[in-house]
Amino acid sequence: MARSMRDIKRQIKSVQNTRQITKAMEMVAASKLRKAQEKAEAARPYSEKLKEVVASIAAGSQGATHPMLVSRPVKKTAYLIVTSDRGLAGGYNANILRKVTMLLAERHKSKDEYALFVIGRKGRDFLRRREYPIVEEITELSDTPKFADIKSIAYSAVQQFETGVYDELYLCYNRFVNAISQVPTVDRLLPMEPVEHQEKKAEGLHAAYEYEPSAEGVLEVLLPKYAETLIYSAILDGKASELGAKMTAMGSATKNASKMIGNLTLTYNRARQAAITQEITEIVAGANAQS
């Protein structure tokens, strides 16, 4: 009984130490989440305005034939996948990787039909172990990434679509809704979707744009920047989603640890009570034997 009580006490101490760690990680994630959320939300108006301008130019220049506006027969598809470098974030990585692998299995018969650009060590390691074709990767992003940190992979993906290496480019990431809700999302980035519905939304709010030297010249410069901006915005969403998932996961772990400590404490008290009762019974029995 005494050895069992020592084991229970040791286990209680171990769970208490774990609870301290998970509580600290929850507080760190919560403090970083606010900044990441603000950055992700601040990037959305810029990307939306840029989308509006690009749509307006593309709609107004009937002769524009930029590769990013033209759908062509799909021979090879590229996917840019955003994951995290570290775990302990609940289903953050598992959800987007499950969605991507299911999509690849449904859409492609061979691994020669697609290529992957991967951001984050967790996604890279998962896909590399399963021998998926990774052509480029970035790891060790900070919790508040700058555009310069991902410019190389964004530029590479967009340029290879523009030059015809890939015929489609998809963006796979977790869209941030709030701290407890992150939606695995796969959006077709290139070629650009038709813009007719955008014109309907903006009906009555048309802005007049003048282009120098021409609409085609502006599109030539603006379209690659537009695609890279959407990639950066998705990465900011991914970081906010990661921190939200981590805060939620560590909060749940802390609650579970507290519950486990309560159960173990109850078990320890019962074992201690049984030991005391046993000792009293032995003392009484000894006293009766001597009388």
Q: Return the DSSP state at 110.
A: S
* Residue 78 and residue 111 in contact, taking contact as beta carbons nearer than 8 Å: no
Find, among 125, 126, 116, the residue nearest to 153 by Cα. Answer: 116
- What is residue 198's predicted lDDT score, i.e. its pLDDT? 47
Among residues 143, 142, 129, 123, the alpha carbon closest in space to that of 38 is found at: 143
Distance CA 271, CA 252 (A): 29
Q: Considering the entire predicted model, what is its pTM?
A: 0.84
Whose CA is closest to 85, among 206, 238, 214, 237?
238
- Nearest Cα neighbor of 136 from 144, 151, 233, 113 is 151
Q: What is the reported pLDDT for 65? A: 64
What is the identity of the amino acid at 71? S
CB count in 10 Å sphere of residue 240: 28
Closest CA to 68 of 178, 177, 157: 157
Cα 236 to chain centroid distance, Å, stands at 9
Architecture of the 42-246 domain:
3-Layer(aba) Sandwich (3.40)
Spans of all domains in the chain: 2-24+249-290, 42-246
Helix spans in the chain (H)? 2-60, 92-107, 121-129, 147-162, 196-201, 215-290
Tokens (6 digits) for 205: 């709010």
User: What tokens appear for 68 in the block?
Assistant: 């990013």
| Each residue's pLDDT expressed in tens, for the chain with a length of 291 residues | 445 788 999 999 999 999 999 999 999 999 999 999 999 888 888 888 887 777 777 776 655 567 787 788 999 999 999 999 998 898 999 999 999 999 999 999 999 999 999 999 999 999 999 999 999 999 999 888 999 999 999 999 999 998 999 999 999 999 998 888 899 999 998 888 755 544 444 454 556 666 677 767 777 778 888 889 999 999 999 999 999 999 999 999 999 999 999 999 999 998 888 888 888 887 878 777 776
Fold observed for domain 2-24+249-290 = Helix Hairpins (1.10.287)
- The whole-number pLDDT of residue 62 equals 58
3-state secondary structure 10-59: HHHHHHHHHHHHHHHHHHHHHHHHHHHHHHHHHHHHHHHHHHHHHHHHHH
